[in-house]
Homo-oligomer: A and B are copies of this chain.
Amino acid sequence: MVSLGIDIGGMSMKCGFVDDNGKILSKFVVKIDKSKNQLEMIEALISDIKKAMIEQNYSSSDLRGIGIGCPGSINVSTGTCDFSGNLGWRDLPIVKLIEEGIGEVKARLINDANAAAVGEAMFGAGNGKKDVLLLTLGTGVGGGVITGGLLLEGNMGKGAELGHNLLVMNGRQCTCGRKGCMEAYCSATALMNDTKEAMKAHKESSMWTRCEGSIDNVDGKTAFEEAKKGDKAAIEVRDNYVMYLGEGIINFINIFRPTVIILGGGVSNQREGLLEPLSKYLEAHGWGFGGTACPKPELVVSCLGNDAGIIGAAAMFMERK
């Protein structure tokens, strides 16, 4: 038997039939047409699921269930997307619509970042470990936590908003309305803003050459790549970023004491360029409360890439071994 995992993003819904070993047997993508209303978007998804089931020769009884990783503010108890600004969704009863549309199969919602965390923890960089922290460093900072082998969801699945843990009291404005959240310092967006500020202050920086003289060419790699070459302004941006990320991670070590910390999202593509200075920072700060009496978590980069969300969403229905 297989489980269907769906990872809803801002532009498309990535779907895959997944076996009990976390292997994706076949994939399909449903493009999101933003000219449609929310019900029509879900109808398009249902129609494509049905097509894919026919193509792959699956009936409802071959499916353990349909796991749906969803962005925005969701309620896993009612199976509803309360609000997604990006998709324009409001009070959308996704689980009910999918269950009625497909028939004779169970569906369940999961927060999209949590789905990725479950995927990476069970079948990716977490390698089945029981205490896993995943942080995605992209447009925002998302995350998921497996603690004692179980996903931390909070009431109605509304917890684990790790990007909105404070780093600086009354600090930078965050998109969530609060000031000083980790997301405002550790997202790729924040990194790019910091890079631009540093370039404006340092006309001599090699980052200008890399960007061909235009600040519009700054991306998440600019500072990290030029720091490797020894550019002082770039090193300052990188070290500052690593300091904030390090403090944010120490918070989560103190709270969750994971055995493995997985970094995902655009900034994690730096791999050793990020892991090395970050490990040094964490080492210098004792890996959090308890110091030597506590084991050092592993620090790794995610390895399932865009598949993590599909696999994690499907995993809600897999047979446990």
Contacts and interface: CB of A to CB of B under 8 A. Distances in A.
Contacts of A152: 147-148, 152, 255-256
Contact of A167 (B166, B248, B250, B294): B166
A57 interface: no
Contact of A247 (B147, B159, B169, B244): B169
A117 B165 CA distance: 22
Contacts of A44: none
A131 B148 contact: no
A202 B314 CA distance: 62
Nearest to A294: B158
A251 B289 contact: no
A176 interface: yes
Scoring A82, A168, A256 by chain B CB atoms within 10 A of each residue's CB, the highest score goes to A256
A236 interface: no
Contacts of A177: 286, 291
A176 B289 contact: yes
A154 B258 contact: yes
B294 A73 contact: yes
Copies in the complex: 2
Contacts of A83: 293
Given A165-B251, A166-B247, A159 B178 contact: no
Interface in A139-176: 147-148, 150, 152-156, 158-162, 164-169, 171, 176
Contacts of A291: 177
Contacts of A248: 166
Contacts of A153: 147-148
Interface in A248-268: 248, 250-251, 254-259
A230 interface: no
Interface in A265-321: 285-286, 288-291, 293-295
Interface string A61-75: 000000000000100
Nearest to A73: B293
A287 B134 CA distance: 24
A166 B83 CA distance: 29
Interface in A65-101: 73, 82-83
A165 B73 CA distance: 25
Nearest to A174: B289
A217 to B, nearest CB: 30
Interface in A191-220: none
B159 A254 contact: yes
Contacts of A178: 250, 285, 289
> 9 tightest CB-CB pairs across the interface, nearest first?
A154-B257, A159-B257, A73-B293, A82-B293, A161-B254, A131-B155, A161-B289, A158-B257, A164-B254
Interface of A: 73, 82-83, 130-131, 147-148, 150, 152-156, 158-162, 164-169, 171, 176-178, 244, 247-248, 250-251, 254-259, 285-286, 288-291, 293-295
